[in-house]
Amino acid sequence: MSALHEQQIPASGAAGLAGVAARDAAGGRRVRRFSADLSAVGEPALWAFGGALALGIILIAGFLAMIAWNGFSTFWPKPIERVELTSGEVLAGVATRGGPYRPGESTLAQLDDETRAAIAANDGFASRTLYQTANFDLYGDDFRWVSDFEVADITRPEDFFYIERQQWGVFIGRIVSLVVDGEQVEITPDRLSREQRAARQRFTEIRGLERGDIGGINHLIERERLAIRRAEIRLGEDSPEAQAAIAEAQARIAELQAEFQTLQQRVNAIRAEDRTTRITFAEVNGQQVETELSQVVRFFPANALSLPDKIGIYLSRWWEFVSAEPREANTQGGVLPAIFGTVAMTLLMVVFVAPFGVITALYLREYAKQGRVTSIVRISVNNLAGVPSIVYGVFGLGFFAYAMGGTIDQLFYPEALPNPTFGKGGILWASLTLALLTVPVVIVASEEALQAVPRSMREGSLACGASKWQTIRYIVLPKALPGIMTGMILAMARGAGEVAPLMLVGVVKLAPALPVDGFAPFIHLDRSFMHLGFHIFDVGFQSRNSEAGKPMVFVTTVLLLALIITMNATAIYVRNRLKRKYASGEF
């Protein structure tokens, strides 16, 4: 473009003088071309385009590499360092990151002359390291900065363990004693891991009973309570029918409560047993902490690991991450509920957006009379794609959750009021909001796909005596389907990665239950849910200890990207299969 201008401006300037614009301009160019030598000069514009493309690719690749590096290295076990400071203080921790910093006046004032001179020589910069000292229950903090000039000595003692706990996060220190069934036993690595596995089994059993069985009973009791309320509302509080229904429900509640008691007793029994197997740790300065062994999720001597040990720990951490629930305010443990929520919400969104977008596009392209109105509709649809997503969130909350959900509650769930059932954020409203957000993408892509179906195909079908709908159904839609699928894929990618509107319409930090479970009606569209995108935000920026959450941000990002890529790859695979299927006509 710019090269063209440069050539034309002097030429047309000369033409203006001569007064015969077009011919002279051409003539001027021709003279220049003949006077040029024959060596290739290349196309400056092409270099600019190529450069821009390369820059874009480098940026994206760098971004992905950073996420991947941080994400994939997080779970790798790192050594524990015992650090002796010049002040005589001793600490133990895992070095997480470090770098230069500029010590403040007061810090400098306390240093000896030699160190101060060294720092001054380095433009006032010293370097420091962030240690994960863990032991939050003892120290009130998980991390500590240590400046290099403070350090007297660093060792890596082999008897230090990195202990991941169910509560209070990580403990770093030695294992002092092990009590099994109330009796002190000798600590051998073998015995320790055997007892820990048994203890974890008890823990899982307790959790299973509490969450599954007892949770189920609570659910049923709640349902009976609602049945009582419903009977009161529908039949009149004092009517004999209501009284009968209430009596019946209360009898059932009594039964359930009895069941509840037995289960609770079982839980208590296991708990009591569990309490007799205990472990005691000591941190680097000898301060001790005692806890049930079942609280220990994973432990390893970080400085005495072989490579296979490390790989094993690495994989077991990944497995926990994708298969378990979060613990420690989401900074530890897994993200299974968030994975589930993300996938369920995205799929539900596709279910809503697909028919809506395709039907709209079909009408616009095939049936509506092309003219001013369709142009306005098209422009509006395109502009919808540019509305900030948070606006959709506000709309979703106001319209879907409060207006529609509120009405549904009044009509169908009056017994639960004033507690909202659908009248609050939930997975249904979130998917509808996202469907609204992504529908322009689907409409535009579908319209383009429909438009791309050759006229000769439609004419061929119509000439066979097919009606317009038959032509669309048998010829146009199959041919446009891959293009429509491409639109769906784009919509899915956009929807799965969207966070802002979800925060208003149903995403929560920690969902008590998944939207799908074993209780009728099995799919609970009114429930709030967890989402990987929100999880990243929450863990990285909202938790009590954002330093502890930081690595999880990258890991979760890796997972979210992997999830979106997987969903898209699946959709692309389906699309390509469809393409082939329709090309070979086996339907």
Partner 1 sequence: MAVTETLPRNDGIAPTTYHVKAGGQGAALDIRDFNLWYGETQALFENSLEIQKGMVTAMIGPSGCGKSTLLRSLNRMNDLVDGLRISGQIMVDDFDIYGRGVDVIALRKRMGMVFQKPNPFAMSIYDNVTYPLRVDGVTKKSILDDTVERALRSAALWDEAKDRLKESALGMSGGQQQRLCIARAVASDPEVLLMDEPCSALDPIATAKIENLISDLRGQYTIVIVTHSMSQAARVSDNTAFMYLGRIIEYGATETIFTNPKVARTNDYVTGRFG
* Chain residues in the site for partner 1 (CB under 8 A): 370, 454, 456-467, 470, 474-475, 478-479, 582-587
Nearest by Cα to 196 from 274, 303, 252:
274
Nearer of residues 290 and 459 to partner 1, judged by Cβ: 459
Quickly list DSSP for 264-300.
Answer: HHHHHHHHHHHHTSEEEEE-TTS-EEEEEGGGEEEEE
In SS3 terms, 385-405 reads as: CCCCHHHHHHHHHHHHHHHHH
Report CA dihedral (214, 219, 224, 230) to the nearest 10 degrees: 170
What's the closest the beta carbon of residue 489 comes to partner 1, in angstroms? 21
Encode 293-323: b = buried (16+ Cβ within 10 Å), e = exposed. Answer: bbbbbbbbbbbebeeeeeeebbeebbebbee
Nearest by Cα to 492 from 346, 332, 320, 274:
346
What's the closest the beta carbon of residue 539 comes to partner 1, in angstroms? 49
What's the closest the beta carbon of residue 362 comes to partner 1, in angstroms? 17
What's the closest the beta carbon of residue 575 comes to partner 1, in angstroms? 15
The answer to whether the Cα torsion of 340, 345, 348, 350 is positive or negative is negative
Nearer of residues 141 and 459 to partner 1, judged by Cβ: 459
Nearer of residues 52 and 583 to partner 1, judged by Cβ: 583
Structure token pair of residue 96: 């997480």
Q: Are strands 170-180 and 161-165 parallel, antiparallel or unpaired?
A: antiparallel
The whole-angstrom separation of Cα 580 and Cα 558 is 32
What's the closest the beta carbon of residue 470 comes to partner 1, in angstroms? 5
What's the closest the beta carbon of residue 326 comes to partner 1, in angstroms? 49
Q: How many Cβ atoms from other residues are within 10 Å of residue 523's Cβ?
A: 13
What's the closest the beta carbon of residue 520 comes to partner 1, in angstroms? 41
Give residue 242's identity as a one-letter amino acid code.
Answer: A
What's the closest the beta carbon of residue 477 comes to partner 1, in angstroms? 12
Nearer of residues 479 and 550 to partner 1, judged by Cβ: 479
What's the closest the beta carbon of residue 347 comes to partner 1, in angstroms? 29
Nearer of residues 101 and 474 to partner 1, judged by Cβ: 474
Structure token pair of residue 298: 């994973």
Nearer of residues 316 and 470 to partner 1, judged by Cβ: 470
- 412: Cα within 13 Å, side-chain hemisphere: 9
Nearer of residues 118 and 583 to partner 1, judged by Cβ: 583
Nearest by Cα to 481 from 492, 473, 490:
473
Nearer of residues 467 and 546 to partner 1, judged by Cβ: 467
487, 442 Cβ separation under 8 angstroms: yes
What's the closest the beta carbon of residue 463 comes to partner 1, in angstroms? 4
What's the closest the beta carbon of residue 480 comes to partner 1, in angstroms? 11
- Cis status of the peptide bond prior to 418, with omega within 30 of 0: yes
Query: 3-class SS at 110?
Result: coil
The whole-angstrom separation of Cα 489 and Cα 440 is 13
Give residue 215's identity as a one-letter amino acid code.
Answer: G
User: What count of residues does the chain have?
Assistant: 587
Report CA dihedral (11, 15, 16, 20) to the nearest 10 degrees: -150
Give residue 443's identity as a one-letter amino acid code.
Answer: I
What's the closest the beta carbon of residue 19 comes to partner 1, in angstroms? 36
What's the closest the beta carbon of residue 461 comes to partner 1, in angstroms? 7
Nearer of residues 479 and 494 to partner 1, judged by Cβ: 479
What's the closest the beta carbon of residue 228 comes to partner 1, in angstroms? 56
Nearer of residues 476 and 525 to partner 1, judged by Cβ: 476
Q: How many Cβ atoms from other residues are within 10 Å of residue 277's Cβ?
A: 21
- 227: Cα within 13 Å, side-chain hemisphere: 18
The whole-angstrom separation of Cα 282 and Cα 536 is 33
Nearer of residues 254 and 373 to partner 1, judged by Cβ: 373
Nearer of residues 63 and 474 to partner 1, judged by Cβ: 474
Nearer of residues 304 and 462 to partner 1, judged by Cβ: 462
> Distance from CA of residue 170 to its chain's centroid?
24
Nearer of residues 394 and 462 to partner 1, judged by Cβ: 462
